[in-house]
Structures are given as C-alpha cells and as structure tokens.
Amino acid sequence: MLRDISGFSNPLVKRVRSLRDRKHRRREGLFLAEGLRILIEAEEAGTLPEMLFFADVSEGHPQVARLIAAVEAAGGEAIRTSVDILAKLSGKDNPQTVIGVYPERLTPLAQIDRTAADIWIVAQSLRDPGNLGTILRTGDAVGAGGLILVDDCTDPFAVEAVRASMGALFTQAVAATRWSDFVAWLRAGPGQLVGTSLRTETDYQAPRYVSPTFILVGNEAQGLPAAYEDACDLLVRMPMLGKADSLNAAVATAVMAYEVLNQRRATKGSG
C-alpha cells in the first residue's frame, strides 16, 4: 500500500519520530534503520521493513523502486514524503532518502544455537551505541554467530547503533541477558569463554582457541568486573607499546575476533 504524507503534524510522522527514543522503541517494539544500503542489506538477510518512508526525489531510483515493490508485496506500507520530513524522522540535517521501520529482533538466549558458528561475541555493560554497532559489523565480517549483551548495555536498536552496524544488525543474532543466566547457559554446553583483561600477562596470540569461542569484552571505561574475569576459561591481553594502556572496546573485539578466525583458517588449511 502506497500513500503520501506531506504534513509535519501527521500522527504517523510523530509516532515514527518517537522511535528515536528508547522508551518508545520498547513500547512499540519497533526501530528505525536509515539509508538504502542498510535497507538492502536487511532485505538480503531476509528482513523487510513494516513501513518504508522514501523521499519523492528518490522514487525513480531502481533500487528504491524495487524495495518499494518488495515491501508492498509483503504486505508492508510504502510512504512517499519529502526530504524535510525524513530529516524530522531521522533527526539529521542531511537525511538518507529512505528510512525503514522494523520490528525489534532480539533472540532469546535459549534459542541461540552455539554450534552454528565458531565465534560468538559477548559484551558486558557496553555503553556506546557506536561501539555496539561496530562490534556487530565485526561479527558479520568474521562469520560470528551473533552478539550476546550482558547486563545493562546500550540499546542495539538505537539509531546510532543501527547506523554503525552497516546492516550487520540483520545478519547477526542479538540476545540480551543477565550475567548469571549467561554463565548458566554457557556451561550447559560446549564453549570457551575468553576475556580481554589488563590483569593477565597472557598474550592474545599465545593460546589455542577452542570452538565455539565466546569473546567477552567489558565496559569501555571499567573493563570486566573481577568476578566475571574469574569465570573465564582464559584471560588474554593485547600488547600496548605506546602510552595508551588499552584499546577501544570495539577495536579490541575486532583484534580478538580476527585472531580466533585466523587460527580457524590455519587449522582448516592444514587439515
């Protein structure tokens, strides 16, 4: 179904704009994704938006036209509007020409199939949505199964996190749980829990990682609590040769994920 919206006071504009706020996302069970690239990545991963807002100036773009047709064929709603209204929805002065409204897609921890991938990423009390989105993107790049958020993390469906994920939010399973529940689930099956820490002298390239490997990264400012480190099978650190004492959380996750991936590749290559 295609319709036009030209007024800023339209109730749907107000409703969708409110999804920039976590409270409203939770109430509605919906979130925003901006930009043709991300929406196409979502479609390729098997997910179409419930509502597709597109600028009238972009309607002739072949990929936009195809996306409109796909949304309508799936029973969704395509809404033609102005660039100014898209700016109101996104909160950006230079908005993308397409915005999708999607249902939130958290996976219950009990439904995670740990054998589906060699690598899983676990983030504890992560605060920065940009870091979260970047970690999702890294997970997609290394073929991880998904991201498990532990304790009070930033919202994976915040606009900034979705944007930073570059579509990886739609390729990675995302679960949210408490630490005690995560540990109980993890120890009920195979899985090596590897924490990044400054309290160890073990170089991150020294151990041989066992599949499935769960890479645990802590809060950006405080790192992992001591009790969480004690629960790990391994603690490792990356060499810091300059004045900085640690890496950004998303960068550290990427370094660890690629080390685990490279070990897997070496093992398969020699096997």
Domains annotated on the chain, with CATH: 2-103 (3.30.1330.30), 109-270 (3.40.1280.10)
User: Can you list the alpha helix ranges (DSSP code H) found in the chain?
Assistant: 11-17, 22-28, 36-44, 62-73, 83-90, 129-141, 159-165, 179-186, 226-230, 249-270
CB atoms within 10 A of CB 211: 16
pLDDT digits (tens, 9 = 90+) for 168-189: 999 999 999 999 999 999 999 9
Structure tokens, 161: 């996190």
Residue 100: what pLDDT? 97
Residue 137: what pLDDT? 97
Residue 243: what pLDDT? 77
Residue 236, class by beta-carbon neighbours within 10 Å (0-12 exposed, 13-18 middle, 19+ buried)?
buried
Residue 87, class by beta-carbon neighbours within 10 Å (0-12 exposed, 13-18 middle, 19+ buried)?
middle
Residue 238: what pLDDT? 86
Where residue 43 falls among pLDDT bands split at 50, 70, 90? very high
Where residue 58 falls among pLDDT bands split at 50, 70, 90? confident
- Kindly report which listed range (26-30, 147-151, 155-159, 263-267) carries the lowest average pLDDT score: 263-267
Kindly state the average pLDDT of the residues 209-231. 95
Q: Which of 227, 218, 221 is nearest to 197 (CA)?
A: 218
72 half-sphere exposure, CB direction, 13 A CA radius: 13
Structure tokens, 200: 């160890």
Residue 53: what pLDDT? 95
Q: What is the mean pLDDT of the chain?
A: 93
Would the pLDDT of 271 be above 60? no
* Higher pLDDT pick, 126 / 246: 126
Kindly state the average pLDDT of the residues 62-67. 93
pLDDT digits (tens, 9 = 90+) for 111-163: 999 999 999 999 999 999 999 999 999 999 999 999 999 999 999 999 999 99
CB 253 within 8 A of CB 138: yes
